[in-house]
Amino acid sequence: MDLLVVYLDLLVLVLVRFWEDWPAQFYLLQIPCKDPQPTDTPTPDPNASPTPIVKYAAPALLNPPDGAAVTGPLVPLQWTAVSLLREDEFYAVRLRRVGDGSPVESIYTRTTLVRLGEEHAPSPADPTRQYSWEVTVVRLSGTGASGQPRYTAASYPSGKRTFYWAFSPADGTRVFTPRP
C-alpha cells in the first residue's frame, strides 16, 4: 500500500512539472472575432393563425375499388380506421360527381363506412354517373358565423378514387351506358 502511495505521489510530481514546462501557446486558445453587431429579430404577426397539427396518417380506401362499376341501389364507401377518434373528431367523406360541375358534398361520420342511397344516385336520364371520393379525419374547431360547424384537418387526405354508378333508383333497373 505504501508503495502505491509513493507511485501516485511521483506521478503527480511528474505531471505538475510537465505542465509547468509546457509553453502557454499550446494550451491557451485565442479566437479572434469581430465586435458583435445588432440583428433584427422577427416580429410576430398578431393576425397569424396557428398551423394545424396533423395527428393521423391518411385513411386507406378499401371499397369500391378505383374505377369500379357499381350496379346496386346502395354504394358502400369503406376505408380503414386510423385510430380511435376523440369525441371532437370525425371522418369527412368528400363526394363529387365528375364532369357536371357540382360542388363537393361532405359527409361526416365516426364510422369507417358510408352507404350512399337514392339521394346521391343519378337520375335515369343523367349521363353523368361517375363519382370521385376521398376521406380525411377532421377535428371540430368551432362554429362559423352562420352557426355551421367548422373543421380543421387532423389527417392527411386519402388518395382519390372514382366509381361508376350504373343503377337508376327510379325504377330499379340497371342502366348500361358507356363509361367515359
Residue by residue, pLDDT tens for the chain (180 residues) are: 566 666 666 666 666 666 565 555 555 666 677 777 777 777 777 777 666 667 899 999 999 999 998 887 889 999 999 999 999 999 999 999 888 777 788 999 999 999 998 888 877 777 778 899 999 999 998 888 888 899 999 999 999 999 998 865 555 554 444 444
Query: Could you tell me if residue 28 is inside a domain?
Result: no
Q: Which amino acid is at 171?
A: D
Query: Could you tell me if residue 1 is inside a domain?
Result: no
Query: Could you tell me if residue 27 is inside a domain?
Result: no
Query: Could you tell me if residue 55 is inside a domain?
Result: no
Query: Could you tell me if residue 37 is inside a domain?
Result: no
Domain coverage including residue 134? 61-165
Query: Could you tell me if residue 5 is inside a domain?
Result: no
Query: Could you tell me if residue 7 is inside a domain?
Result: no
pLDDT for the residue numbered 180: 44
Question: Which CATH number fits the domain that encloses residue 151?
Answer: 2.60.40.10
Query: Could you tell me if residue 3 is inside a domain?
Result: no
| Secondary structure E strands in the chain | 61-63, 68-70, 75-79, 89-97, 105-109, 113-116, 130-143, 149-153, 161-165
- Count of domains in the chain? 1
